[in-house]
Structure 1
Amino acid sequence: MAISFPALEEKRAELKRIFDEAGDDFDLSRVTVKNHHTATEKAQYIKKLNSEIDDLKRVAEAAEIGGYGHESGDGARPASRGNTGGHSLKGAETLRKDQSFVQWGRDNGHGNRDHEGLSFDRLIRGMATGKWRDADAERKALSEGTLSAGGYLVPTPLAGNVIDLARNQMRVAQAGATFVPMTAQTLKIARLTGEGSPGWRNENSAITAADMTFDSVTFQARSLNRLVTMSVELFEDSDPSASNVIANSFAQQIALEMDRVALRGTGTAPEPRGVANTAGVTTTGHGANGSAISNYDFHLDAVGAVRNANFEPGAHIQAPRTNTSLSKLKEATTNAYLQPPAGMLPMLPTRQVPVNLTVGSSSDCSEIYTGDWSQLAIGIRTEFRIEFLRERYADNGQVAFLAWLRGDVQLLQPSAFVVDVGVRS
């Protein structure tokens, strides 16, 4: 038997009234709220109203299933609805490549449980067209994320989903980079700088201290902006049920730029510093004017250098041209294609490694990056902002979105990386 909750029904009715007054373009100037006159005040009221509705919904759900906390017996909260599966990320400061921002946000209480089923594409389509068919939940989430300075804060689960889509396409992530969820503008994590060494001792003799030493790495959230334009017809004609088309487009652009800056970022503000420009990274040259690849020695020597520094390399990252050149190597007598040596690391191609660098008199040079990629840390803020530019491209029949993502790149151990320069094929 369903249980009636008048307070919940009243607040839902109030929220519906606000949505109706705001209209499809969600214009808060048309909304009347007692003692709340500015757009900022109204947005805060809507956010508070949504929070109260969520609290009452949890009470209602608990009553429907027979009371509070019947699994734990604590009498304080509704029983959990199923296992999230896998190892909990609660309290985790870093994420491996097989761990997601979505799960991290869920396990650490970031975001609203009701936001987990939202679609980024439906959210963007609603913002662009003002049509919210089959997107009531996205419309509600948008009202919660209205910012006083303009734009909207993308709900945490949706932001996490886009970030995870981007990570899946990033070569540095595929190689094993560590990701650091940032919940503030700056974040420090500890870094081991000296391990000390154990020592043998005689009976009754003093123990020699050999302490491990640490310092810290500081991440500072830097802004990565992206302007995306799309035709109005694309939104109007596309299938609303098609999932992740827009999200994948956003993610791909984020992935390309994060790969570039992680490898080759200059470190000149506001750009983070990448592997190639970090002090302590081993740089290996191949002649005054560079050299073409004729075998796998460049790669094998780089692996040896990383291991000599007491790290275990996980992959090479290089230009697609280098992969092609290696695939075309042939045995001199039979003209058969050469097989890579046993134990070769994965070779991950990306166009973010250029092939037009100048070394000496050669202007067709490239680079090969080898390392223990877990020592490359990418900090990413767990939320990002979107501003819809309605009028700017109207003459062209287009709509545009300006997206802000914030992050940073740090090398935890620069000696874990080798960069081969002057690679001419």
Structure 2
Amino acid sequence: MTQPLAYRMRPRNLSEVIGQQHLVGKGKIIERMVSAKMLSSMILYGPPGTGKTSIASAIAGSTKYAFRMLNAATDTKKDLQVVAEEARMSGTVILLLDEVHRLDKTKQDFLLPHLENGRIILIGATTENPYISINPAIRSRAQIFEVKPLTEENIHHALIQALADDERGLGQYDVELDEMALVHLSRATNGDLRSALNSLELAVKSTPPNTDGKISISLAIIEECVQLKSMSHDKNGDAHYDVISALQKSIRGSDVNAALHYLGRLVEAGDMLIICRRLMVIAYEDIGLGNPAAAARTVTAVQAAEKLGFPEARIPLANAVVDLCLSPKSNSSYTALDAAIADIRSGNTGDIPDHLKDSHYQGAKALNRGVDYQYPHATEQGWLSQQYLPDKIKKARYYEPKHTGKYEQALASRYEEINRLNKQ
């Protein structure tokens, strides 16, 4: 059976790796390890089709070590034993272990001594964040490298290479690829080179040649053959949390276009719960007293979205995102509370003043509870000066108002007036 084009075009050495120059370029970490013949185990993590397996096979090709591939989820301890025996008999083996985050304890315990003595050089591949998903015992014995999504230019270059390669690629076919088709194929797979190459091969092999023997690949043909990759993501994956983080930071930074983009990704993923929860957090954490009405409108939008469901839910959610983005921002209230909590946790509290203590029981007066308390509502201005904080921290000032919105500006004026009267 003929291997897929993406498999055949795997790099044979580091110089053939597409992209990832921050790792395999001249003078970069993996290139240095190969040049010095000082390979160590590593974990490569990043999106599918971006070159994790390619880097592993290129390392093996550059070093001439035996290269074996297993899957941590589906292959057994016995499969690992076969690799270990090969390493014992013939020397070092490079083991590419796909889905390394799913390595169970039995397989891990078997692998660890072989990693320690260097007989097996583990190259773990995963789409999950290894700092979250991989057992510390494995993580501590491997260097961690992030594999970046390939650029449109990277994909374009690899497709041209595949069309020209007579030995491994499609060079034996007389292909005429429309420029717009090439651009579309470079973009539509969103950095997944494997998908781009296999879509190209399908287009070439399924299109009959014309009378001149040429296989003409148009944009329409490529659109039929390429499997469009959605920018949505696994709800449990590391990328999901990156999108949530990007949404909040874009709203905090008042970039309405970026915020709508990340909202769109979450809408495409269909994750109503996390969108609604995150928008309410943002409303109170980032907008806060800068525009309290926006927080109330966000709660209303969330309630509407939950009742409507997708696809209509996107409408109130978009309203909320634009509103929050363009609202004045203030985190003064919760940072003030955090400052107060920090004092409490450090033991900086003190006893509650007697005049504030509960006096609604017999004998309270004898204990001086509630005595000398002054009732603010009994005054014309609704305020009077008396001590509320414990003696130990009576001068503490936690709340520092911001002046980003009219509402908090009014609060700040009242706050400063009260502080001034207190000093008098």
Category of TM-score, reference length = shorter chain: under 0.3
TM-score (norm 1): 0.23
TM-score (norm 2): 0.23
Q: Which has the larger radius of gyration?
A: 2
Tell me which of the two structures has the higher relative contact order, counting C-alpha pairs closer than 8 angstroms and 6 or more residues apart.
1
Instruction: Identify the structure with the greater strand proportion.
Output: 1
